[in-house]
Chains A and B, each alone.
Chain A
Amino acid sequence: MDSRLEFAKSEPIWNTNNRVFSIIAGLIILLFALPLFGMNSFYLHLFIMIFMHAVMAQSWNVIAGFSGQISLGHGAFFGIGAYATSFFYMEYGITPWISIFFGMFVSAIFAVLIGIPMLRLSGHYFAIATLLIGISFQVVFQRWDLVGAASGLWVTMTPEDSWFALQFHSSKVPYYYVFLVFFLITFFLVWLLSRSKLGYRLRAVRDDPQAALSLCINVSNYKIIAYVISAMIMAPMGSLFAQYILIIDPDRVFNIEISIIVLLITVLGGIGNVWGPIIGASILVPISEYSRIYLGGTGGAVDLIFYGLILMIICIFRPNGLISFIPKDILERKKQR
């Protein structure tokens, strides 16, 4: 057997760059330690929003970046998650820790129901269908009396901080850790996914569905799998967000802006890349939060102006997102000539 083949086989499958790993490990420790240094509540809020948006964007990244289907109504799953925990806590006193999973389950069901007919459609049809479905959810919840119609749900406040009810009034620190843990778990799982057989096959579906079919890949099934995974990542963020703000209404948790922002973060950071959503969220969330502070309520649209502009600029000049500025061999594979 020739030596070039032997050499190729001896290569590690993934270019495990120890320096990158130690940087990531250091960052994780830093993130856990940060609140200990007495962050004020604005910074806690900022980080919580970054974690949340990074996960939401990662959810979108799985369906759009990995499997190539553009969903413009991803807010629906966020809203389902938010309503699931709030409703079951208020009606039956079920702890959000359980109804988070219920929200994931319902989202997954909807993903299957929407996915089976819709994912057979190509490109624009699917994008428009999801846009319409996203808005339909908002319309239905605005008029659904059981869940408070347009005024939404005001979650019953516990008198004290409670891990059972997942409510913390005295400090944002517990929320910080809850969001951080979800953020880390999600990214770890998606990172595993991207390196798994499933990840390879999803990218095949994205790059060329016909070629994928010729390689025994049932394209429709894989799209549905990606859609379900994506929905199940999104729903818990809705649940946690509902616990964080404790008042939810259709215009807030089913807002089309949610569907926009996840797309924006992912495209900005780098679509199809596991790390893209973190980069995107770390840039966009501060822009949004600071503009809200400095420009106040009436200037609420200013961050959207930036968003729109950034999105267009990225599409024109850097369609692979900001992550494409980082040399590939640092992150993933080394290229040998």
Chain B
Amino acid sequence: MTSEIIIQAIVTGLMMGLIYALIAAGLSLIFGLMEIVNFAHGEHLMLSMFSSFWLWSLFGLDPLFSIPITILLLAFCGIITHYFLIRYILKAKMLIQICATFGLSIFIRSIAQLLWTPDFRNVDKPLLEGRIEIGSVFIGQPQLYASLVCLVAFFGLYWFVTKTETGLALQATAQDRHAAEILGIPSNKMFAIGWAIGLGCVGVAGGMMANYFFIFTDVGINFALFAFVAVALGGFGSIIGCLYAGIIIGLVESLGGLLIDPSFKLLYVFAIYLLVVIYKPQGLFGRY
């Protein structure tokens, strides 16, 4: 095995990791805000990829240009999710909260299967195509740009949450929603914003991945699993922790696949999760 192959795996893992990080950040934001894990996160990702696909297939809009539309659609989807489901279960037991978002995930996935069949689709000849060669390492252009856009979006999110007034209001609500309400921050509105932003992140990731990833109704499952893992590694509710965790997962996945056996990629990531939650249940990077 040559060092080029290993570098190749590291680059691939890094690029995937940045995407995982952004998806996980959306999940983490929502969790930090209201202690609800969105078990439909993968289905939301699937929706964003399909949004990108249909905009291309029906209107000939390249995924690169339809990104803003996809983000808006997903943000809207987040608000709807909050309005029709989440706000009713805010005070429910954790079990009911898990079941509710789990129900949402089944619902979205099976509707998608009914409407679009479980076929695999992909976007033909997107603007972002081909690969660049550095030394003997190949970097797919769509992959590269997807990960860079995700990284930018990630820091955009981080800036938004830590620097803007709305972001600080979100943090205040996350820490103590009653205290925040007394200060005049309406928690219900904050929750809706949180969902909109959280799924907006997924919109960015899904829209960019539509350039090169197969699009099918079960596509979100693995991404959601990795996002759960990332959120747990990064410390539930921590956003910056998701970045490190996402990268770790991406690297473990690609290096594990290269060095041991590619068919057990999932298991390596799961093993990391199990080890971390057992030995460091607060996450590798603490909260905030």
Contacts and interface: CB of A to CB of B under 8 A. Distances in A.
Interface stretch (A45-53, A119-127, A151-159, A277-285): A119-127
A55 B273 CA distance: 31
A315 B99 CA distance: 7
Interface stretch (B87-95, B123-131, B135-143, B250-258): B87-95
Contacts of A133: 270
B225 A312 contact: no
Nearest to B217: A301
B180 interface: no
Given A132-B229, A308-B110, A70 B98 contact: yes
A147 B92 CA distance: 43
Interface in A59-115: 64, 68, 70, 72
A299 B106 CA distance: 15
B259 interface: no
A139 B228 contact: no
Nearest to B106: A308
A128 B274 CA distance: 10
B103 interface: yes
B278 A117 contact: yes
Contact of A136 (B95, B110, B266): B266
Contact of A316 (B95, B100, B110, B111): B100
User: Which of B92, B96, B117, B229 neighbours the largest number of chain A CB atoms within 10 Å of its CB?
Assistant: B96
Contacts of A312: 85, 100, 103-104, 107
Interface in A276-328: 298-299, 301-302, 304-305, 307-312, 314-316, 319
Contact of A311 (B37, B92, B103, B264): B103
Contacts of A128: 37, 228-229, 232, 273
Most buried by B among A72, A124, A129: A124
Interface in A204-254: none
**In the complex, which range does the number of interface residues on chain A fall in?**
35 or more
Contact of A308 (B96, B105, B229, B278): B105
Contacts, number: 127
A139 to B, nearest CB: 6
Given A70-B98, A315-B103, A125 B85 contact: no
B266 A139 contact: yes
A131 interface: yes
A173 interface: no
A64 B94 CA distance: 11
Contact of A305 (B85, B107, B228, B281): B107
Nearest to B275: A117
Main secondary structure of the interface of A (DSSP, over half): helix
A308 B89 contact: no
Interface residues of B, number: 42
Nearest to B104: A312
A263 interface: yes
Contact of A139 (B97, B267, B278): B267
A308 B95 contact: no
A143 B266 CA distance: 13
Contacts of B117: 298
Contact of A304 (B97, B109, B225): B109
A274 interface: no
Interface string B268-288: 001001100110010000000
A165 interface: no
Contacts of B244: none
Contacts of B77: none
Contacts of B281: 121, 125
B102 A311 contact: yes
Given A304-B110, A311-B106, A312-B85, A124 B94 contact: yes
A260 interface: yes
Contact of B110 (A124, A129, A305): A305
Nearest to A65: B95
Nearest to A319: B96
Contacts of A193: none
A271 interface: yes
Contact of B114 (A263, A299, A307, A311): A299
A121 B278 CA distance: 8
B37 A132 contact: no
B113 interface: yes
B108 interface: yes
A70 B99 CA distance: 9
A166 interface: no
B228 A131 contact: yes
B236 interface: yes
Nearest to A256: B221
B109 A260 contact: no
B2 interface: no
Contacts of A263: 99, 102
A143 B263 contact: yes
A52 to B, nearest CB: 20
Nearest to A305: B110
A123 B94 contact: yes
A140 interface: yes
Nearest to A299: B114
25 contacts: A117-B278, A118-B274, A121-B277, A124-B37, A124-B94, A125-B281, A129-B277, A132-B229, A132-B273, A136-B266, A136-B267, A139-B264, A139-B267, A260-B102, A263-B99, A298-B117, A302-B114, A304-B109, A304-B113, A305-B107, A307-B103, A312-B100, A312-B103, A315-B92, A316-B85
Given A64-B95, A299-B114, 11 more contacts: A118-B274, A125-B232, A125-B277, A129-B277, A132-B225, A305-B114, A307-B107, A307-B110, A308-B105, A315-B88, A316-B89
